[in-house]
Amino acid sequence: MKKVAFIVNPKAGVKKKIDIPQLIRSNFSKDIESEILIWDNKNNFESIQQKVLNENFTIAVAVGGDGTVNEVAKTVNHSNVALGIIPFGSGNGLARSLGIPLNSIEAIQRIETGSIRTIDSGLINDKPFFCTSGIGFDALIGGLFATSTKRGFWTYTKITFRELFGYKPQQYSLSFNNTTINRSAFLITFANAGQYGNDFYIAPAAKMNDGLLHVVVLRPFPLLAAAPMALKIFQGKAETSQYIETFTTTEIKLLRPKAGAVHYDGEPDTMPEEILIKVVPQSLRVLC
């Protein structure tokens, strides 16, 4: 028997005028036991976490953006509770990667009809991520986007182009698969899934159930190459760009000159010079 917790972030994404709890009540089966939990304090998730894990829920549905998905996924990771997603975010990376509908009503109905699969997760200095994590330019943009009063794809794009011209690539040492390489990089992404969100496929060959991370190194490039390279990434052909290198591994140690920004599933953070990233195979049950 299903017992479903809908965990609603009322501040997520670009659809704030929608009465999300009412949308769920109107479109989810009355024959399935469910409860709507409102996460209205970003810094206090513990009470929701305890309720989900201690009251026999079988599915915990993240209703919000990638940050909400990450928080709920962390809660049910390594448990028998499955993660569901009703995407209301700007990028919706994991939802897109799992084939979950972006239409809200269809996503609600998928909670009733979908099937459960098990996927890998990743750790970056012991912080879980389920889609992508990274350092460099995308981590900078993630931090700026998180503090922006406006959300959505175009806000993200405007911030990206505003910062693009002044960003300086950094030097990194990467140790993995019994070898060490040094790279000057614009960004480095650690991908469990193929995309950041918005169908921006930074690692199109990545699979969420193969026990591997795809490490994508974007080397310095001339600004004239930015638009053609972005087009390749949107087309799922990132590996054909001369400025992109991709490696596969289960674990990688990264060294950089100083502490700085990182992101995991788009959530900004800061970490020290040394960072350890590894895959955790078959850790998360998902409903899709």
The CA–CA distances, whole Å, from 47 to 24, 40, 52, 149, 251 equal: 21, 12, 9, 27, 33
How many Å apart are CA 56 and CA 82, to the nearest integer?
12
Q: Return averaged pLDDT per consecutive 10 residues of the chain, 288 residues in all.
A: 93 70 95 94 86 97 94 97 94 95 96 97 98 92 76 75 84 98 97 93 96 97 91 93 97 96 92 98 98
Asked if 256 and 264 count as a contact pair (C-beta separation under 8 A), the reply is no
Sheet holding 213-218, edge to edge: 244-249, 213-218, 187-191, 132-136, 260-264, 267-271
3-8 and 33-38 strand pairing: parallel
The CA–CA distances, whole Å, from 198 to 96, 143, 146, 194, 233 equal: 8, 18, 16, 11, 11
User: Tokens standing for 217?
Assistant: 């190194």
pLDDT for residue 182: 98
CATH 2.60.20.30 assigned to 127-281 = no
Residue ranges of the chain assigned to CATH 2.60.200.40: 127-281
pLDDT for residue 248: 98
CATH architecture of 3-114: 3-Layer(aba) Sandwich (3.40)
pLDDT for residue 23: 94
The CA–CA distances, whole Å, from 187 to 40, 121, 190 equal: 33, 21, 10
How many Å apart are CA 119 and CA 192, to the nearest integer?
9
Residue ranges of the chain assigned to CATH 3.40.50.10330: 3-114
